[in-house]
Each structure stands twice: as C-alpha cells, then as structure tokens.
Amino acid sequence: MLYIYCPHCGEHREEEEFHPKGQAHIARPLDPDNCTDKEWGEYLYFRKNPRGLHHELWVHAAGCRKFFNMTRDTVTYEIKEVYKIGEQPSVVADS
Amino acid sequence: MQHYSGFGLFKHSLSHHENWQRAWRNPTPKKKYDVIIIGGGGHGLATAYYLAKNHNVTNVAVIEKGYLGGGNTARNTTIVRSNYLWDEAAHLYEHAMKLWEGLSQDLNYNVMFSQRGVLNLGHTLQDMRDIERRVNANRLNGIDGEVVDPQTIKEIVPHMDCSDNARYPIMGASWQPRGGVARHDAVAWGFARGADSFGVDLIQQTEVQDLIIEDGTIVGVKTNRYGDIMADRVGSVVAGNSGVVAKMAGFELPLESHPLQAMVSEPIKPILDTVVMSNHVHGYCSQSDKGDLVIGAGIDGYVGYGQRGSFPTIEHTMQAIVEMFPIFSRVRLNRQWGGIVDTCPDACPLITETPVKNLFFNCGWGTGGFKATPGAGHVFADMLANGEANEMAKPFSMYRFHNGALIDEHGAAGVAH
C-alpha cells in the first residue's frame, strides 16, 4: 500500500484515493497539424517504462481531484518526492 | 534424450528412480551462436524448440538471468483459450490452441493440458452485446464458442450465484469448451527438454547486461558470467523487462510494465471443474489438480518492477470472487504473488522487427501471454529463422503504433488494464 502525500491537500493519504495516470512531462506537440505519423505515434504510445526512478502523473481522484507529479522508484516503490504540475523534479536518474 | 513412457516409469521404479537422465544439460556457452534468445521463460524456450525442430537452426543459446520458467511462466493462472475478437489476434491464439492440443505428445512431456472449458461472464447489457459479437466473430474464424444463459451457467457451475440477488447479477456468458488450463511449469520444462535434445544450449543464472551493436546491427550480447557472446540474430523474450532491453538497444517501446497478481487458496475437495472469468466484477478462478483455487487479479495501475502487488487489488479481487461464489467466503488464502507484465496500449503483443537490424522482440503479451506460449514460440522462431515477419506475425509489428493499425483486444483480454 502506497502512502501518498498530496501536495494540494497537504496530507498523506492511502493509495486507494489516488489514480496513477502514467508517465509525466509528456509535452503535446507544438505543431500537431504537421506531425508525422511516427511523431504522433510516439507521443501517444511510446513510453520510458524505466526500471528505477520514474516521474509519473497522479490524480487525487477521491480527494481534491487535482493532478500532481511524483518521482518514484519502480523497483522499491519508494516515493522520492511529489511536486505540482509545472514544477520540475529535484530527484532525477543518473543516465 | 531419454524417452518418457509408462514402461520407462516401471523400469526406473526397479532402481528406485535413481537413474533418470537429467532433463537438460547445463552447458558452458560457446563464443558464437546463430541465434541468441534472451529470456528462458515459456515463450523463449518454445522459440528455441521450434527454431530447432521446424527450421533446423540448432546453434542456439537461451540466456536466462534466473532459472528456467521462473518468471511469469511460473506466476500466471494457467488459463488457455483463444476467443479473441479481431481476426489477427484470433488467428494467433487459435494457432496456439491447435498446438496445445497436441503438445504433450509432441514434447513427450505431460503438460497436463485440460480442456475443461472457459466461461467469460456478462453482468450488464453491454457485456452481453460484446459477448455476442465476440462469439460470432470467433465462430466465423472457426473457433468454438457459444453464448449461454444463466440457467446453462448454473448447470455448468452449480455453486455460482446466478440469482438476481447479486450486486451485479449474471446475465449470461460466453463458453469456449476447448479452453482450459495447463501445468505452467511443465510447459517450460517440456520445451526446455525438447530444445536441449536438439542441441540448444540453455544458459541459466546468466544476465545479459548490454547488447553489442555495430553500425545499427546487433552482433552479440554482454553477459555477467561469460563475457561477450556473439550471434547473428538476437531475439528478446523478456516480458516485463522488455523496456530494459530496449533501452540497451537505444529505443523505446509502446509498453508499460505493471505487476499482475495471482493467489491460491488452501487445497479443498473438487468443487470447480471449469474456468470462470468475469471482466465486470473482475476476478477469475479455476481449481488446480492439487485442489487449491487459483485466483487472478487485475494489474496495479502504476509502473512497477517489484514482483508483488498492492493490497487494494487483492481486496477487490476477493470481493469479486466471493460475489460470484458465496460458498468460497470462508476459504483461506494460502499464497499470493505478482509477476511483471508488459502491457501494450491495444492489449495485443509485439512480435516485431526493431530499429536495430537482426534484433527482434517478442513482448507486450501483457496479462495473457501464457495461453499463447506454443503459438508465440512457433511464430517468433519463424521470424528469427527467416529474418522477417511471416503472415501471422506481420500485424503485430511495433510500427502499428505509427501507422494506426491497432488491434484492440481490451474486451477479450479479460484482465483490466
């Protein structure tokens, strides 16, 4: 059971209140009309899927319903930090 | 290879079963192979077996970081069925089903394939529409299946709560009589023994740490125990760790790895002689020959490589099982575990060429790879032998996520993700 700190509510809550929404920091193409099929495909479907540190998007679905980001280790499941949308992570992988 | 038979069993009983030949060798790898397969699970071993048997490619090594069949092959709920919606997927899973039906004889190894039938329950009007559409599609593809009503379900599974009193009453189901279960360990061991008998080297306890790529072509792999091993072609069959191998090769895949859980109860007397699955309340259940109820859950929503699962998922699954089978409410769970499944956005696998020449991937089977073991091995062996996808594998290229030719099997996949 993950015990997650919501940066909007300022409280730790249990995993079940939250929904993971996948990899964070995926920028929507700036000029979508001129994207190739390959660019669209990679934007929509291709993911980092790291074994180790991962930055992901979560939503406090059964709480404040706001989105935030999390840096988490995908092997130990340790949550390194949570930070708001628009902010950059302070914990990053070496490579 | 020592042939297994009833007479052999009798003969060895006279020497107290102390003189059985080892099922496979434990060789030191050569410097170079025609084909290296990364990953010694069911799919990897099946690939090696069919490469040797059907394509006469025997200079092959399977490199496994743990022991054979110790990953998802040992962690699934052993369900085999082929009732998929779209032609591409249906052909692939039915190809596997046909191989399952003769597998024990082919391998001379009892994989305990038991065609006890699979029920996929419907609890809503939309479920029933989807089921009817899928069953019709199956029959057009020559796959057995029928839509059954609650009364028939009650006859097949008398202990299931088919009344209107349930929170989500059962409205009907699809029934595939040829579906069933198989002994997962025996599948890995049978393919391993078969591959070894053709001269394939099974290299265990050896981790591939990097790929050796020259001018965009793979030429070998770096291992932790035996240094560099060269190969003309390399096939990656590493399920949940496919993203890790892809990263070594320098590209991303349309995959995310999630923990998928299963659990078994204490052994009880025979009570359930078929396989019951429900998408809607979400749980699936069968009873092993040992007597334990084998129960499968959904995946955790987040990316994870820890081979365990979250507690809320266990709770949801048990709610669903008890909802369907109130009689199981006091059965105690014995063990629970997780495997790492590589899920694809369209719930169909990748059997694919990659941006690196001579490097091929068989992955993305997500929550439903076990049922395809012989078929996937058969098709992927063809790809490794000929260097290109055959008709059956073509639709499963990773480049379908560039051109949009997705094969949406979320409905037939049976596990929420």
| CA–CA min distance A10, chain B (Å) | 22
Beta-bridge mates of residue A3: A14
Report how far residue B52's alpha carbon sits from residue B59's, in angstroms, rounded to the nearest whole number. Answer: 8
The pLDDT value given to residue A13: 96
Report how far residue B39's alpha carbon sits from residue B288's, in angstroms, rounded to the nearest whole number. Answer: 27
The answer to whether A20 contacts B404, with C-beta atoms less than 8 Å apart, is no
pTM: 0.95
Q: Which residues of A touch B402 (CB under 8 A)?
A: 37-38, 40-42
| CA–CA min distance A70, chain B (Å) | 11
Q: Which residues of B touch A56 (CB under 8 A)?
A: 302-303
In this structure, how many other beta carbons lie within 10 angstroms of the beta carbon of residue B388?
Answer: 11
Three-class DSSP category at B10: helix
Report how far residue B255's alpha carbon sits from residue B259's, in angstroms, rounded to the nearest whole number. Answer: 13
Three-class DSSP category at B400: helix
Report how far residue B109's alpha carbon sits from residue B107's, in angstroms, rounded to the nearest whole number. Answer: 5
User: Could you say which of A1, A20, A40 has the minimum Cβ distance to residue B301?
Assistant: A20
The answer to whether B247 contacts A45, with C-beta atoms less than 8 Å apart, is no
The answer to whether A54 contacts B303, with C-beta atoms less than 8 Å apart, is yes
The pLDDT value given to residue A1: 86
Report how far residue B291's alpha carbon sits from residue B304's, in angstroms, rounded to the nearest whole number. Answer: 31
- Cα–chain center distance at B362: 12
Residues of A with a Cβ under 8 Å from any B Cβ are 1-2, 15-16, 19-20, 22-23, 37-38, 40-42, 44-51, 54, 56, 72, 74-77
B336 near B261, Cβ under 8 Å?
A: yes
B279 near B317, Cβ under 8 Å?
A: no
CA end-to-end span of chain A: 29
Q: Which residues of B touch A74 (CB under 8 A)?
A: 257, 302-306
In this prediction the ipTM stands at: 0.94
| Ordered alpha helix ranges (H), B212-310 | 242-249
The answer to whether A74 contacts B304, with C-beta atoms less than 8 Å apart, is yes
Report how far residue A87's alpha carbon sits from residue A77's, in angstroms, rounded to the nearest whole number. Answer: 22
The pLDDT value given to residue B417: 60
B296 near B275, Cβ under 8 Å?
A: no
The pLDDT value given to residue B416: 64
- For residue range A16-70, list pLDDT tens digits in order: 999 999 999 999 999 999 999 999 999 999 999 999 999 999 999 999 999 999 9
> B264: which 2 tokens?
């078994």
Three-class DSSP category at B352: strand
The pLDDT value given to residue B411: 83
The answer to whether A74 contacts B404, with C-beta atoms less than 8 Å apart, is no
Q: Which residues of B touch A2 (CB under 8 A)?
A: 310
Report residue A10's pLDDT band, with 50, 70 and 90 as the boundaries.
very high
Q: DSSP letter for A32, please.
A: G
Domains and CATH numbers, chain A: 3-84 (3.30.2270.10)
pLDDT in tens, chain B (417 residues): 889 999 999 999 999 999 999 999 999 999 999 999 999 999 999 999 999 999 999 999 999 999 999 999 999 999 999 999 999 999 999 999 999 999 999 999 999 999 999 999 999 999 999 999 999 999 999 999 999 999 999 999 999 999 999 999 999 999 999 999 999 999 999 999 999 999 999 999 999 999 999 999 999 999 999 999 999 999 999 999 999 999 999 999 999 999 999 999 999 999 999 999 999 999 999 999 999 999 999 999 999 999 888 999 999 999 999 999 999 999 999 999 999 999 999 999 999 999 999 999 999 999 999 999 999 999 999 999 999 999 999 999 999 999 999 999 988 887 766
Instruction: Catalogue the long-range contacts made by A77-84 (C-beta closer than 8 Å, 24 or more residues apart).
Output: A77/A2, A77/B304, A77/B306, A79/A2, A79/A4, A79/A5, A80/A53, A82/A4, A82/A5, A82/A6, A82/A7, A82/A58, A83/A7, A84/A7, A84/A8
What single-letter amino acid sits at B180? Answer: G
Geometric angle at alpha carbon A45, from B221 and A49, rounded to 5°: 45
Q: Does the pLDDT at position A95 exceed 80?
A: no
Q: Residues B65, B68, B74, B78: is their CA dihedral positive or negative? A: positive
Q: Which residues of B touch A42 (CB under 8 A)?
A: 252, 401-402
The pLDDT value given to residue A94: 75
| CA–CA min distance A39, chain B (Å) | 8
Chain A, chain B: beta-carbon pairs less than 8 Å apart:
76
Chain B residue with minimal CA distance to A16? B312
